[in-house]
């Protein structure tokens, strides 16, 4: 983003992901659901399956019991 708005967004965004979300907000776009996931250990199969279901149904509500 040009000018003062771009400079402000860069100043208040500690990471690139935050910057992208701020820019999405300013441009009135939906935030990206998952840009990247950092994990210290491999995800459990159940967690991986849940993420696949959630990303496939985004932006709908999914009830979990």
The structural domains of the chain, with segments of one domain joined by +, span: 3-57
Task: Write down the pLDDT at residue 10.
Answer: 87
Cα–Cα dist 61/24, whole Å:
21
In 10 A of CB 62, how many CB atoms?
10
Task: Write down the pLDDT at residue 5.
Answer: 85
Task: Write down the pLDDT at residue 39.
Answer: 57
Cβ–Cβ under 8 Å, residues 17 and 36: yes
Interaxial angle between packed helices 16-26 and 3-12, expressed in degrees from 0 to 180 and rounded to the nearest 10: 140
Tokens found for residue 42: 């491999």
Task: Write down the pLDDT at residue 20.
Answer: 82
Ramachandran sector of residue 3 (left: φ over 0; alpha: ψ -120 to 50; beta: rest): left
Q: pLDDT 10s per residue in the chain (65 long)?
A: 678 888 888 888 888 888 888 888 888 776 555 555 555 566 678 877 887 888 888 788 878 77
């Amino acid at each position: 983003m040009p000018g003062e708005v771009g400079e402000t967004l860069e100043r208040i965004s500690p990471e690139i992901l935050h910057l992208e979300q701020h820019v999405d907000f300013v441009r009135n776009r939906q935030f990206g659901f998952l840009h990247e996931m950092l994990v210290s250990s491999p995800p459990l199969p159940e967690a991986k399956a849940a993420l696949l279901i959630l990303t496939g149904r985004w932006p709908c509500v999914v009830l979990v019991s």
